[in-house]
Amino acid sequence: MEIKKVAVMGAGAMGHGIAQLAAIAGFDVTMRDISEEFVQGGMKNIRWSVGKFIEKGRMSPSEGEKTLKRIKPLVSLKEAVEGADFVIEAVPEKLKLKQQIFKEIDSLAPPHAILATNTSALPVTEIAAATNRPEKVIGMHFFNPPALMRLVEIVMGEKTSENTCNVTLDLGKKFGKEPVLCRKDVPGFIANRITIPGTNLVAWMVYKGEYTVEEVDAAAMHKAGMPMGIFALLDFTGLDIAYHVLKFMEEREPNFKVAPLINEKMEKGEIGVKAGKGFYTYPEKGKWAMPQISKEKAEKFDPMTPTYVNVNMAADLIRRNIATPEDIDKSL
């Protein structure tokens, strides 16, 4: 299957980044959102990002101009998917919303078009069930920011065909990404499934008063050499992303419970940098600043604690033939 036109649903942080990737790769792109304000906001962000690429020598001014010309911002869903060979959805992480979008896309997109969801946690199979082409629905989970992060998870739903999978893997490579394959639609897929449960365990320990947030992060940075602490990383990526993965694991897997510490933060809307406050406080919404944590607090916590959980989760994926050791290594 030859892909010429890519349609992206959503012009937010992920949507505009994916649209930019597709345009850089040489595809004709439509980027659709529910209002002119949103699509123009997405284009503004793309222009800024392309400008940075030119400034850093990653593309020439002429290449930047061609990239921008390949993207058509739209509000009309019908016009956006008309003639599309591949559609990538990047709307908020709400199952009913995604199902509604996929139902509409399914009725408007060409019969041959593959429909991909950028969800980081929701079940691909249940999203696909809203369409009459579940064999052509697949997960294509990019990491934020899409223009810079090399990894993309390709996730097969229960009815996803091998051909759909192969076309999507190939597209990921054409986007300049490192695709990894998750052969079963499990909560969290590969990267989040492996890493987030270990973080949840540590959140339980903090909730029970065994450690403080600062003690955990100080140990992660000053004893394990991590670039940022466990809780600082949650703030940076967005606590809401981890929460969605954890909630689906809680709902679908026995003996798993989201740490109350995480639930409390979600209830308060303190989801990290994007909110201006998470486990730490930031200068303003969306502005990152590395939390200053004393090295003296590093001695109490063993930073290997979440790693033990991560290793067990990775081994389970291999045992169940969900992911290969090679793809797991690429994901972490």
Which helix H or strand E contains 100, and what residues bound it?
helix 95-108
Burial 164-181 (b: 16+ CB within 10 A, else e): bbebbbebbeebebebbb
Q: How far is CA 180 from CA 4, 94, 139, 147, 189, in A?
A: 23, 24, 11, 17, 10
Asked whether the beta carbons of 113 and 85 are under 8 A apart, the reply is: yes
Return the number of other C-beta atoms located less than 10 Å from residue 325's C-beta: 11
Residue keyed to tokens 């695709």 = 179
Which of 120, 200, 310, 331 is flagged as catalytic?
120
| 118: annotated active-site residue | no
Which of 16, 141, 222, 244 is flagged as catalytic?
141
| 2: annotated active-site residue | no
Which of 16, 45, 49, 153 is flagged as catalytic?
153
Task: Determine the residue type at 314.
Answer: A
Dihedral sign from CA coordinates of 95, 203, 199, 250: negative
| 192: annotated active-site residue | yes
Which of 45, 49, 118, 192 is flagged as catalytic?
192
**Would you put residue 33 in left (φ > 0), alpha (ψ -120 to 50) or beta?**
beta
Token pair in block for residue 252: 């679908």
As a residue count, the chain comes to: 332
| 153: annotated active-site residue | yes
Token pair in block for residue 16: 């505009």
The catalytic residue positions are 120, 141, 153, 192
